[in-house]
Chain A
Amino acid sequence: MNFIGVLAFIEKETSKMRHLGAQILFAPWVSALLYILIFGQVVGQRIGEISGVTYIDFVVPGLLMMNIMQSAFGHASSVLYFNRFIGSINELITAPFSYFEIIIGFLVSSLIRVLVIGGGVYVIALLFTVTTVNHFFLFLFYVISSSIVFALAGLLVGLWAEHFEHLAIPTIFIIMPLTFLGGVFNSIYMLPEKLQIFAYFNPFFYFIDGMRYSMIGISESNRTAGILFILTLILVLGAWVWKLFKIGYKIRN
């Protein structure tokens, strides 16, 4: 195992947070602040309680998960695509790395970005409410597992993309709609009855609901099924990414 190599790769990719802080860190923090301020405070005060908690406490776990999903996906897809685009992916390919080590490097650097962004969002939330974490290990599980799932999805898109615009397509047409329909801002019981069943087929719902349970103890899904589903996603996406790296899909000619 090339430990030093993997650490150097992680260090290289996470160092970009220093150079591109405004884009990578402040943009999601400002947007989280606005969401919490407008939805949590302004609109939330008129909504009242949901499942026995104030609206702002209900929204914060969803917002946190939304930022985790977007930052893990964004980091992995953009870093891989950028490395392919300028050809610096060859620095990794010509170095003594296995494909598994390269993938681990991408996943860990995505996780670090998630922790920095998520940590910031959590601190912002603390300015408005006493955000609790009821089940710490479950909370940790959802943070790490969702980072892995969305970083793996990001790697698939980073391999597939031919243009910079391709990176935005999954975010606009898949991640954002499924996040919003997955219960970030509302209980699924607030949806029209006929639409509620669709929420259970939305994979994002299990991430958001699980995070909400770990933080404030409220859940609207079968958590065991949700956890099994998340673990299955990690295995399937992980195997898919590993296979594509192994055959050199769009990275080796």
Chain B
Amino acid sequence: MTDPRSPRSDRSRWNWVLLPAIVVPLIPALFNHEEPRLFGVPLFYWLQLAFLVISVSATLIVYRVTRR
């Protein structure tokens, strides 16, 4: 256990990996297309679900790196 009196901070360069996870899913030009389809599902639907991978990876990295 760390000394509770030592200054602790949430600041970390790794926090920046959260940024693309927030920005990328908000760019319609990336996903607002019909083709290519995946198992018959248009790009619009499967790519937006695939963005979950970025979100999960980013939060996982920050959790791992900043874990006590």
Q: Do A and B come from one complex?
A: no
Interface residues of A (CB under 8 A from B): none
Interface residues of B (CB under 8 A from A): none
